[in-house]
Amino acid sequence: MAKPCTIVWLRRDLRLEDNPALCAAGRIGNVVPVFIWSPEEERQFHPGRVSRWWLKQSLIQLDVSLRSFGVPLVMRKSTDTLGTLQELIKATGATQVFYNHLYDPISLVRDHHVKQGLTQSGIQVQSFNGDLLYEPWEVLNDDGKPFTSFESYWQKCLNMPFEPDSPLLPPRRLTSIAGSIPTYTPEELGLEDETEKSSNALLARAWAPGWSNADRALEAFLAGPLLEYSRNRHKIDGPTTSLLSPHMHFGEVSVRKVYHSVRRLQLLWAKDGSKLGEESIYFFMRSIGFREYSRYLSFNFPFTHERSLLSNLKSFPWRVDEGFFKAWRQGRTGYPLVDAGMRELWATGWLHNRVRVIVSSFCVKFLQLPWRWGMKYFWDTLLDADLESDVLGWQYISGSLPDGHELDRMDNPQTEGYKHDPVGEYVRRWLPELVRLPTEWIHHPWDAPPAVLRAAGVELGSNYPRPIVEVAAARERLRQAVAQMWEQEAALKAAGVATDAEALDENLEVKVVTPPLVSTHSLKTAVAGTLSRSSLRDQRVPTCGKQLSMENGVPHEGDNSPDIAMSPQQDNLLATTAPPEAHSTAEKCDNKSMNCDQTPEPKHNVPPPAVSDGNSTAESSSSPKQVNDELRNGVPLVWVPSIVNQQPVVEPSCVPYAGDAGQLRKHLLALQNSRTENKMEEKSPLSEWRRRTKRKAKA
């Protein structure tokens, strides 16, 4: 009797170890692993250059590993994933399709569409949890509703009655069908242009994509930086974090393996009484929790990639200023720490988490640019670009989450610079034009005496820009914007317009919303009925509510317009700042931000008119016609100014970027050397701890 054939549809689970879909298929019979590259289906979230480079290298290694098992990886390029899977089913005679869950809004709808189409064709479809410790529908509050704050969510996870499943071993063997299946090579997928290869070659000096390299990166972190993670996690100049995020995004190492590996060390350090180790594991586990929470929010609130979770931020007057956006992208804001971070991002595709917070806070609080612009730029440029984590980070910074930063909080880059880069080494590495500036002035060169600037070769406004906006002026504009937001909310109530809290009573039964990225046809398809062959292990898909209303071809997000139906816990949430009347007249400065800085700075022109959060594209004269056409066709997208033709800033010799080796090569080699296992094994804190433990045991 012939063995049944199963197609394993791989996406962001490019590993052999702890791959539930692959292991389940291997136990049943013949296996056909398939990867389908479909950039058109990704729409505006088509991966950026460095992300596509990583994907290509990971596919090459996975193909080699699978071939060693006797099962080649079938790679296809397509504009229709469902059609391609149906072709492969016909060619292989497969009767089943297995895949692991994804939780971003695009994948939620695509997976449902694929599953429905295959099931109607008589193909058995089964999906598995390969990306989370707990599925989103397993973690609910006492009322059976999703959590809307991280602390309550994470406490629920830590107090679950059962531990996350242990990671699975790689399959002992895999069997393939007789004959060969036409496949693409990684080069033929078109993941890397010829013009990008010279820049991408530098990335290979610091990073090693692939699932086996991910295991080595995890072992190096556990043997070295983890023990002092609580002390060093905010140091921005050096590999003080795990550097696992790109590996985890592409599924080269599972979160369950990371979790259980860390838990084993936690038990050992607790037994040995290592307070430092226990504290480090506490903070590292929280970072894992934030990754879990990002997928949790994306699943339960699929609109958050496009709209704020807090309802009253619909009225916040974001500013459309492509000049400010360009200066921020290119690292020409006049604030050294922000500029250094943005130039490192452009050069390497990587940023320390603390620097990500600082540059994103500057974008939305100082410049008041729409947070979705920054989110999309991070998606285009980060090596570990992850939609769910991007959404969580930017909504958190912009004050769009109930437990996020206060809406009127401003973190001063000068204060943050001396806190996280006290001697200015990070700034000098990425801003060579300031390399001779004394540490006293490195984070605020505009205050330096003229003689000091001349001696350092710094000419403000020439080889290094003056601050793009004054701190005091930015603080005042933010205060006015918050006041304007509350005034608009009050005006709507006074006019008798129902707020979200009042209008949602009739929709209490609607649990989740439909991702607004899909067309009207896709929305109708997603609710065509429940599948007859569903499984408790299969991923659940949000039901659909109302559709976005359209005004002049642009999706509108007003309180008095028909909108996607939401339950109270989704959109009836208040901002993290009280209305103006709730504050005292004295301005309070957050202890984590600048302490009432009043440094004299040059005057600047008033920014352009503001637009609301619900429609940040309507006022822009440069919005591409193609995007407007797609919007009229029922595919609401988030427009951001074009960054395709971004070039290095005026002084190429002063800015390390992917086309110039210089400082970049030094940075990448430093990262590579820091991850060498031999050095870590000889002098790592964990090795010292092990030696002390052995001596104690002998005594």
Residue 33, beta-bridge partner list: 8
Asked if 139 contacts 293 with a C-beta cutoff of 8 angstroms, the reply is no
Q: Which DSSP category does 614 fall into?
A: T
Rg from Cα positions in the chain: 26
What is the C-alpha separation between 93 and 444, in angstroms, rounded?
A: 67
What is the C-alpha separation between 327 and 28, in angstroms, rounded?
A: 56
Contacts of residue 516, Cβ cutoff 8 Å, sequence gap at least 6: 105, 302, 303, 306, 307, 548, 555, 564, 636
Take residue 435 and report the two structure tokens written for it: 């390399």
Residue 424 Cα distances to 215, 324, 429, 443, 516, angstroms: 34, 25, 9, 8, 44
- Estimate to the nearest angstrom the gap between the alpha carbon of 201 and the chain centroid: 24
What is the C-alpha separation between 477 and 137, in angstroms, rounded?
A: 41
DSSP string of 427-468, one letter each residue = HHHH-GGGTTS-GGGTT-GGGS-HHHHHHHT--BTTTBPPPS
Order across the sheet with 124-128: list the strands. Answer: 74-77, 30-37, 5-10, 96-100, 124-128
Asked if 295 contacts 131 with a C-beta cutoff of 8 angstroms, the reply is yes
Annotated binding residues for FAD, as ranges? Answer: 229, 241-245, 284, 384-386
Residue 551, beta-bridge partner list: 554
Grouping H, G, I as helix, E, B as strand and the rest as coil, residue 31 is strand
Name the helix (H) or strand (E) containing 555.
strand 554-556
Residue with tokens 């497969």, as numbered in its chain:
94
Q: How many other C-beta atoms lie within 10 A of the C-beta of residue 356?
A: 22
What is the C-alpha separation between 404 and 395, in angstroms, rounded?
A: 7
DSSP string of 494-515, one letter each residue = HTTPPPHHHHTGGGTT--S---
Grouping H, G, I as helix, E, B as strand and the rest as coil, residue 76 is strand
Residue 352 Cα distances to 329, 373, 405, 646, angstroms: 16, 20, 19, 23
Greatest CA separation for the chain: 88
Amino acid at residue number 502: E
Q: Which DSSP category does 8 fall into?
A: E
What is the C-alpha separation between 573 and 172, in angstroms, rounded?
A: 50
User: Comparing C-alpha atoms, which of 399, 397, 415 is closest to residue 407?
Assistant: 399
Annotated binding residues, as ranges? Answer: 229, 241-245, 284, 384-386
The answer to whether the Cα torsion of 509, 511, 515, 519 is positive or negative is negative
What is the C-alpha separation between 383 and 597, in angstroms, rounded?
A: 35
Residue 77, beta-bridge partner list: 37
DSSP string of 390-430, one letter each residue = HHHHHHHHTT-STTS--TT----HHHHHHHH-TT-HHHHHH
What is the C-alpha separation between 583 and 586, in angstroms, rounded?
A: 8
Q: Which DSSP category does 460 fall into?
A: B
